[in-house]
Amino acid sequence: MAKDISLTNPGKRKKSSSNVPLHEEEMRETKVKKKKKKMEVEEAPVVPQATVTTRNGKQKKMKKTKQTEAPELEGEEDLSPEEKRVLERKMKKVLNKEAKKQLKTEGETVEKSEASAPIAPQQALDYLKCWSKKRTEWKFQKTRQTWLLQHMFDSAQIPDKNFSVLLEYMEGLQGGAKDVSVQKALALVEESGKAPEDGDLQQRAHRAREVIQLLS
């Protein structure tokens, strides 16, 4: 019987993919993965970025987000606690500076408006002066008259020179304003009789007597 040549003399066989060393296959797979990753990066949309310089001179990129969201610091986890504190302090300083600037502007506006408008006593005295010196330009103002009648006994609010003019003005009082002024003057005179040692009260009572004499 003839021997099977394939068994006794195998000869050369073709190399199959199964005989490829394992490390070569791993290298091929790695190259394929890198190529895919590169293609994904190239196809991904480009995100506008900005850089922020930290205290130690390092630059960190910031992703541009929507206006309603706070900017996210790319690589924030790479910042040291000290660098984070520095950035927080810078942001607080900017916010505080803007707040102080706004308060200063508002304060200056209020001060200007207050300075431009005379205070109530000056307005009342100017009203009385206009009645005395510029009768043609004078116009009746109930608010000014009310203030004058409420403070007519107070020499600190209405000096003596202005009180004499006020007496002339009060000659034209009628109705309720006249009656109330007389009642206040009588009450003050009665009160002064109970405290003769009170100099300020006696001075006010002296004016009250003049008012009573004028309007009675």
Looking at residue 48, its amino acid is: P
What range does the domain containing 157 cover?
120-215
Looking at residue 80, its amino acid is: S
Residues 106 and 166 grouped into a single domain: no
pLDDT at position 119 over 50: yes
The residue from 65, 99, 115 where one domain ends is 115
Query: 0.85 cut: is pTM over it?
Result: no
Looking at residue 42, its amino acid is: E
Domain membership of residue 3 (yes or no) is no
The residue from 95, 115, 135 where one domain ends is 115
CB 110 within 8 A of CB 96: no
Question: Using 50, 70 and 90 to split pLDDT, how confident is the model at 47?
Answer: very low
Q: What is the pLDDT of residue 14?
A: 46
| pLDDT tens digits for range 77-116 | 567 777 778 888 888 888 887 877 777 776 655 555 445 4
Q: What is the mean pLDDT of residues 136-142?
A: 95
Residue with tokens 């924030």: 76
What phi and psi values does residue 37 have, to the nearest 5 degrees?
-65, -40
Q: What is the pLDDT of residue 102?
A: 76
Tokens of 62: 């910031």
Q: What is the pLDDT of residue 99?
A: 79
CB 211 within 8 A of CB 205: no
How far apart CA 145 and CA 169 sit, in angstroms, is: 10
Q: Residue 207: name the closest of 164, 173, 178, 177 by CA.
A: 164
Give the length of the chain. 216
Residues 102 and 126 grouped into a single domain: no
Classified as helix, coil or strand, 56 is coil
Residues 157 and 102 grouped into a single domain: no
What phi and psi values does residue 51 have, to the nearest 5 degrees?
-115, 145
Higher local confidence (pLDDT), 97 or 159: 159
Q: What is the pLDDT of residue 135?
A: 93
pLDDT at position 5 over 80: no
Q: What is the mean pLDDT of residues 166-173?
A: 95
Residues 75 and 132 grouped into a single domain: no
Domain membership of residue 23 (yes or no) is no
Q: How far is CA 72 from CA 55, 69, 84, 92, 187, in A?
A: 18, 9, 13, 17, 76
Domain membership of residue 177 (yes or no) is yes
Residues 94 and 144 grouped into a single domain: no
| pLDDT tens digits for range 173-198 | 999 999 999 999 999 999 999 999 99
Q: Which of 23-37, 131-145, 178-192 has the lowest mean pLDDT?
A: 23-37
Q: Which of 16-20, 94-98, 207-211 has the lowest mean pLDDT?
A: 16-20
Domain membership of residue 65 (yes or no) is yes
Instruction: Give start and end residues of each alpha helix (H) in 44-80.
Output: none
Domain count across the chain: 2
